[in-house]
Amino acid sequence: MQNSPNLLKKKHSSKQPLTQQYTRLTNIAYYQADFWLMLLSSFVASFAFWVVLEVNLSLWQMYGFVALFALSFVLVVSYGRWVGIALLSGLVVILLGLKFYLIPWVENYGGYEGAILLLIFITLLVFKLVQLAQNHMRLNFAADYPLNNGDRICHICSGEGVLNSFQPYLKKSFIQETCYGCNGHGIISEENFAYRIQVLLSQCEKNRLELQKLIDQLESAHHKILQKLAVGEGVLEAEVKQRLQISSESYRQQLQVTHKQVSFYKASEEKMHIMLYNRHVAEELMNSHQQLEDFRQANEKHHETLDFIQMQLGQEAQLNTETDALGIEYDLQAPVVMDEFELIVKKIEDITHKIKAL
């Protein structure tokens, strides 16, 4: 971390135009959709192949499932290209192995425990094939649509925007939750605060993994020296034994220092993960407060509207009462007096003007 002072310098980079951002996000969605459609088409093609191979079908049913297999195969090729063909080929090979090897073996010789273990292994193999296919399609996407200067793929979610894993540094399991490193965008720009944190995080992780490999090598060499000391007890010359002991002590000290460095990097990674998560939660909390404020303002407007409507309804009820009272006072069967009739007409006109004024 001390060898990278440029991280603290602010670089001036042009912001990506909105049209390019929209195009890139659209392409990400297309690639994700291509992957899942390729996966679905692969399983449909495998199912159709298995039905044709295993089930006794009529001629028209056979044609139907062969057509389904052909259509699924075309979709696999169109969505995933050679990756889809490799995935589908792996699934077909697994089905052929089940049909012509595993099932006859179990039926003839037993060994259900081994068959169960083999099925578990095959399931894990399929998951690994799916992971490799997704990684390869992500690499294709990165090659087809490279990032602009100043942008980087999120180190936490690898550009997916969601998390479906256990995070050991946070001791928390994420299931379809928004990534706390990029707030669900998958890509972070250089202007973002999380950009520098993730650069340091990736450097710490890289250094820690390199040190872990060095620890494995040191432990292997130290173990060989200890074996030589144990085997040569009483046989080794004093000078050779002393050199071995000195070498063993040097390896032990180097291992101790390297373990401390690994612990430092782990602690640094944990702090950075916690920092990113707290910042993400704080931003979500601010967004929630803003939403609550918007809801409160909207409710106030609704209350004002409701009060106005209630006032109008009250006035209309009062006018209806006056109209009803007017109807009660005026009896159609009674003899009409001109003065009373003119008074009633005037009252009706007044009520009409009041209604129009609402």
pLDDT in tens, 76-135: 666 556 666 666 677 777 777 766 776 677 666 665 656 666 666 666 676 666 666 666
Kindly tell me if the per-residue pLDDT of 4 is higher than 70.
no
CA dist., res. 73 & res. 58, Å (int): 22
| Helical axes 193-231 vs 238-329, angle rounded to 10° | 150
Most confident of 40-44, 111-115, 148-152, 261-265: 261-265
Contact 276, 197 (CB under 8 A): yes
Q: How many CB atoms lie within 10 A of CB 134?
A: 21
Kindly tell me if the per-residue pLDDT of 207 is higher than 80.
yes
The string of pLDDT tens digits covering residues 114-128 is 666 666 666 667 666
From 36, 283, 288, select the one nearest 182 (Cα to Cα): 283
Contact 169, 273 (CB under 8 A): yes
The string of pLDDT tens digits covering residues 234-267 is 677 778 788 888 888 888 888 888 888 888 888 8
- Choose the weakest-confidence range: 159-168, 201-210, 347-356: 347-356
State residue 112's pLDDT score. Answer: 60
Q: Is the pTM value of this prediction over 0.95?
A: no
The letter for the amino acid at 145 is: Y
